[in-house]
């Protein structure tokens, strides 16, 4: 059996080990020794990009924000579904993850970072959202920590708070969509999305195509257009 080869390692701002491993062509990022993401288990990340961009097919100068680069599967899914004039901004907190994609993962999805539609920002996606002008993005995708539940880093809690939801809702265009990956369902989070005036849907996601169960949840929330100050429900 081939050994698991550690390709690179760094520390998160909280001091936890973050390492990239390769085993028989499969790449894994581990946090504190536990698998955080695996290149052989990418169906839910791909679905995240699909549902987020479903309404953007055929549109021209769309602007998309992706929170979290990881192994690049969500970015790949987005780029497959938007046009040549789209602008895809990717916010990744860890500069090492960006470097790993370029150095070790070029044969996986790392080459996508060279796509002229892609702009990489090494920073917290919360900061990008906080400074965004109202109505900047057609779609926002968040794959940060474990979603609104079971967070590893408490600093990520802002994104899923009522204030955080209001901020990314403001950053969306009218009719825009936010899609959020979560390790499980959280009714309270759905209620917070709805309280912010968003039209909410939950999509169950498998981790890989032949999985027998749905192990993740994607929250899809649309910013309903307004006419004369009245929300238009579709």
DSSP-derived letter for residue 122 is -
Domains of the chain, by residue range, sit at: 41-231
Please give the Cα distance from 58 to 181 (Å, whole number).
Answer: 25
Tell me the two tokens of residue 99: 């470097």
pLDDT tier, 129 (very low <50, low <70, confident <90, very high otherwise): very high
DSSP per-residue string spanning 168-191:
HHHHEEEEEEEEEEESS--HHHHH
What pLDDT was estimated at residue 234? Answer: 45
Give yes or no for a contact between 68 and 43, defined as CB atoms under 8 angstroms apart: no
What pLDDT was estimated at residue 169? Answer: 97
Q: Find the mean pLDDT for residues 135-152.
A: 84
Helix axes 187-195, 162-171, angle to 10 degrees: 50
Q: Return contacts of 1-4, CB within 8 angstroms, 24+ apart.
A: 4/28
Q: Based on the number of CB atoms within 10 Å of its own CB, is 87 exposed (0-12), middle (13-18) or buried (19 or more)?
A: middle
What pLDDT was estimated at residue 163? Answer: 95
Question: In terms of pTM, does the model score above 0.85?
Answer: yes
Give yes or no for a contact between 22 and 4, defined as CB atoms under 8 angstroms apart: yes
Percent of all residues in the chain with a pLDDT value above 90, rounded to a whole number:
77
Give yes or no for a contact between 222 and 175, defined as CB atoms under 8 angstroms apart: yes
Instruction: Say whether pLDDT at 230 is over 70.
Output: no
Superfamily for the 41-231 domain:
Vaccinia Virus protein VP39 (3.40.50.150)
Please give the Cα distance from 179 to 140 (Å, whole number).
Answer: 6
Q: Find the mean pLDDT for residues 203-210.
A: 90
């Amino acid at each position: 059996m081939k050994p698991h080869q550690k390709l690179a390692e760094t520390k998160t701002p909280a001091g936890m080990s973050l390492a990239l491993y390769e085993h028989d062509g499969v790449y894994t990022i581990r946090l504190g020794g536990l698998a955080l993401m695996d290149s052989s288990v990418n169906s839910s990340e791909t679905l995240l990009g699909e549902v987020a961009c479903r309404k953007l097919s055929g549109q021209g100068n769309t602007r998309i924000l992706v929170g979290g680069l990881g192994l690049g599967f969500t970015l790949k899914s987005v780029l497959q579904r938007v046009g040549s004039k789209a602008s895809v901004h990717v916010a990744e907190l860890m500069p090492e993850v960006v470097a790993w994609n370029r150095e070790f993962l070029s044969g996986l999805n790392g080459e996508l970072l060279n796509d002229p539609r892609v702009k990489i920002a090494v920073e917290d996606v919360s900061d990008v959202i906080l400074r965004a002008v109202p109505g900047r993005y057609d779609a926002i995708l968040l794959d940060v920590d474990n979603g609104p539940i079971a967070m590893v880093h408490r600093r990520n809690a802002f994104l899923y708070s009522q204030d955080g939801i209001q901020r990314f809702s403001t950053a969306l265009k009218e009719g825009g969509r936010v899609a959020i990956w979560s390790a499980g369902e959280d009714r309270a989070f759905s209620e917070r999305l709805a309280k912010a005036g968003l039209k909410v849907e939950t999509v169950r996601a498998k981790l890989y195509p032949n999985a027998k169960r749905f192990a993740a949840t994607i929250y899809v929330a649309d910013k309903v257009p307004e006419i004369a100050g009245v929300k238009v429900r579709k």
